[in-house]
């Protein structure tokens, strides 16, 4: 059948979509680029915040006329909701008049069989049981050509941060075998990828037959031709120095660490079950900068967690001022059904306060990044070219090792090639070379 697959949410979902594509293609299906050409439309969804759910309901509404048209023509049309939202809402989704297939993140192997069954019976199908073992490590992802490849090294999460739905939608933490990850990386190099990003909800708890994340990344760094290795995310609670020394030693492990802070208030961090204090976080930042002085540092922050006061918020401001992040992804707290926070802490910070705090933090971060990035003016940086810049076909863009975006006049070089440029201008988000 012709299948159209679209992906929402995080890098983990992008990686999962490549596994889904592989499962479907190896079962004789054909992937299309347009929903209108498809008999099956699949959405790989996210559940992390309420607006992720809203987006999918909006998309289902858009598909309603197409579904009606296909019914009138008596042609098959299957609309499937896959991934975290499927796991989170299960039967509720099947009550939607458009969706007739619901499949959770551990059940993708069942997709071909479920699609066949819907074609034969015209019934709805749901498969959303979580597994302690499923890693899809035997399935070679079907990737769309590019510069970077996402490589899942572990699935699920056991941390149970009180705000977070991931442990319920992606289940228990499990690591993929070292050998399957290394084989996959070697395959990637052979097919022309220059960069791999290793993915897990908390890469520092990676453990396969006694081998930890630092052991894995050192082995990966020794693969000839793998020019850049990135990873996301490490949890601040168990960041081993061994990993920092590996980043410092191997030039192909990128000097960029994404270290989610979530809040600068110890009271809120405790309610979030993050298991570190702001002082411990800042101590880790110091150690990171001592061992890898040139590293860039980015973070995630939630504003408006239940009971967050202006004083708690100011504690976050203080940590941001001290840590001096290159970039911060700042979110308004969104209550997720079934989480510990939803059960124990009413969502009592007003929408107006959440908006006010997110605006203030974004302004603060903008100012910090603006000053920080001015230091690059006059410096030469190596850039891995990713493609044309958004604004204008006469410019290209790429990333530094520290994951900073660089825009420069078009060269004769192609995506995947390296160029060294001298930075002439900077903004909070971008470096420019003439």
Contacts to ligand SF4 by CB under 6 A: 157, 159-161, 164, 166-167, 201-202, 235
Interface with ligand SAM in residues 208-247 (CB under 6 A): 233, 235
**120 closest CA partner among 78, 91, 90, 80:** 78
Could you tell me which stretch among 237-245, 249-257, 328-336, 409-417 binds ligand SAM (CB under 6 A)?
Answer: 328-336
Residues 6+ apart with CB under 8 A from 11: 150, 197, 199, 232
Q: Least Å distance between CB 192 and ligand SAM?
A: 29
List the x/- string, 28-67, binding to ligand SAM by CB under 6 A.
Answer: --------------------xx------------------
**163 closest CA partner among 263, 281, 93, 312:** 263
- Strand runs (DSSP E) across 46-128, as ranges? 78-83, 101-103, 125-127
CA dihedral 289, 292, 298, 303 (to 10 degrees): -30
For residues 239 and 203, what is the distance between their CA atoms, to the nearest angstrom? 9
Task: Tell me the number of residues near ligand SAM by CB under 6 A.
Answer: 17
262 in contact with ligand SAM (CB under 6 A):
yes
Q: Least Å distance between CB 12 and ligand SAM?
A: 8
Q: Least Å distance between CB 276 and ligand SF4?
A: 12
Q: Least Å distance between CB 14 and ligand SF4?
A: 16
Helix (H) or strand (E) holding 157: none
Could you tell me which stretch among 186-194, 281-289, 314-322, 326-334 binds ligand SAM (CB under 6 A)?
Answer: 326-334
For residues 29 and 263, what is the distance between their CA atoms, to the nearest angstrom? 46
Residues 6+ apart with CB under 8 A from 95: none
User: Parallel, antiparallel, or unpaired: how do β-strands 405-409 and 148-152 relate?
Assistant: unpaired
331 in contact with ligand SAM (CB under 6 A):
yes
Question: How many CA atoms lie within 13 Å of 207's alpha carbon, on the beta-carbon side?
Answer: 5
Out of 5, 7, 8, 10, name the contact with ligand SAM by CB under 6 A: 10
Partner from ligand SF4, ligand SAM, none binding residue 160, C-beta < 5-8 Å depending on class: ligand SF4
For residues 274 and 266, what is the distance between their CA atoms, to the nearest angstrom? 10
Partner from ligand SF4, ligand SAM, none binding residue 167, C-beta < 5-8 Å depending on class: ligand SF4
Could you tell me which stretch among 141-149, 307-315, 329-337, 397-405 binds ligand SAM (CB under 6 A)?
Answer: 329-337
């Amino acid at each position: 059948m012709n299948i159209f697959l679209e992906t929402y949410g995080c890098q983990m979902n992008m990686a999962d979509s490549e596994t889904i594509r592989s499962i479907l293609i190896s079962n004789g299906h054909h992937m299309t680029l347009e929903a209108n050409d498809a008999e099956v439309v699949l959405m790989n969804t996210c559940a992390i915040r309420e607006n992720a759910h809203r987006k999918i309901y909006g998309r289902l509404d858009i598909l309603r006329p197409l579904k009606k048209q296909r019914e009138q023509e008596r042609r098959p049309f299957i609309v499937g909701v896959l991934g975290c939202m499927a796991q989170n809402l299960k039967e509720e989704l099947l009550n939607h008049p458009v969706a007739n297939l619901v499949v959770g993140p551990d059940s993708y192997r069942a997709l071909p069989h479920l699609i066949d069954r819907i074609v034969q019976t015209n019934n709805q199908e749901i498969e959303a049981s979580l597994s302690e073992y499923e890693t899809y490590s035997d399935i070679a992802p079907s990737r769309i050509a590019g510069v970077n490849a996402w490589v899942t090294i572990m699935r699920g999460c056991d941390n149970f941060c009180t705000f977070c739905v991931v442990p319920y939608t992606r289940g228990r933490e499990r690591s993929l075998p070292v050998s399957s990850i290394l084989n996959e990386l070697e395959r990637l190099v052979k097919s022309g990828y220059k960069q791999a990003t290793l993915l897990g909800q908390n890469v520092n708890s990676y453990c396969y037959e006694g081998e930890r994340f630092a052991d894995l990344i050192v082995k990966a760094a020794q693969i000839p031709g793998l020019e850049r290795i990135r990873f996301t995310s490490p949890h601040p609670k168990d960041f081993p120095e061994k990993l920092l020394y590996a980043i410092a030693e191997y030039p192909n492990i990128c000097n960029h660490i994404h270290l989610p802070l979530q809040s600068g208030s110890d009271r809120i961090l405790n309610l979030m079950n993050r298991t570190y204090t702001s002082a411990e976080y800042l101590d880790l930042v110091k150690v990171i900068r001592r061992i890898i002085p040139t590293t860039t540092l980015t973070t995630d922050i939630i504003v408006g967690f239940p009971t967050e006061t202006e004083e708690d918020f100011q504690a976050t401001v203080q940590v941001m001022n001290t840590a001096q992040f290159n970039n911060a992804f700042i979110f308004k707290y969104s209550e997720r059904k079934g989480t510990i926070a939803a059960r124990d802490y009413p969502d009592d910070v007003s929408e107006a306060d959440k908006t006010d705090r997110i605006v203030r933090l974004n302004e603060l971060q903008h100012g910090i990044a603006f000053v920080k990035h001015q230091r690059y003016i006059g410096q030469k940086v190596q850039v891995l070219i990713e493609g044309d810049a958004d604004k204008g076909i006469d410019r290209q863009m790429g990333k530094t090792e520290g994951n900073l975006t660089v825009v420069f006049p078009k060269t004769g070089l192609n995506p995947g090639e390296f160029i060294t440029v001298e930075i002439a201008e900077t903004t909070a988000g971008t470096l420019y070379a003439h």
